Amino acid sequence: MSMNVGSGLGSEEPEVMMDINTTPLIDVMLVLLVMLIITIPIQLHAVNLDMPVGTPPANNIKPEKVQIDIDENSVVYWQGVAVTAAELESDMDAISQLPTQPEVHIRPNKGSRYAVFANVLSTSKRKGLTKMAVVGSEQFIQ
């Protein structure tokens, strides 16, 4: 007893199937994917820091504060006195030579030009000032 599954005529040969059987390929790819996932090390999103132990030493010396203001007309003020770019550089050079550098607080106005603010920052970096702070930035929040 024979059974012919095909085009319906009993005497014809069945057609040859030309498609590739992709099931074994998919099985192999899944096995390789699982092996890859298992062998990849787990990435920890932690930064290890060596923190000091004990109580910090008391700092009784309050650092001096230098206030640099930039008004809406992009005029730079050093401790409330208007200065030019050359005077600003000489003042920054003078405080960079001190044994303990003072804190420099820069307060730009919202209407001032960014180029003036960037010039103040680049001058402070060029002179080696490290204790810099930009204060009054809450005015830039929209």
pLDDT in tens, 84-94: 989 999 999 99
| DSSP classification of residue 140 | G
Cβ pair 33, 40 in contact under 8 A: no
> pLDDT (tens digit, 9 = 90+) per residue, 51-60?
778 887 777 7
Residue 31 has pLDDT above 90, yes or no: yes
Q: Do 68 and 104 contact (CB within 8 A), yes or no?
A: yes
**pTM score:** 0.55
Mean pLDDT rounded to a whole number for the chain: 84
CA dist 16 and 69 (Å) reads 86
Which one is predicted more confidently, 116 or 20?
Answer: 116
Question: Residue 85 and residue 75: Cα distance in Å, rounded?
Answer: 10
Span between the terminal Cα atoms of the chain, in Å: 86
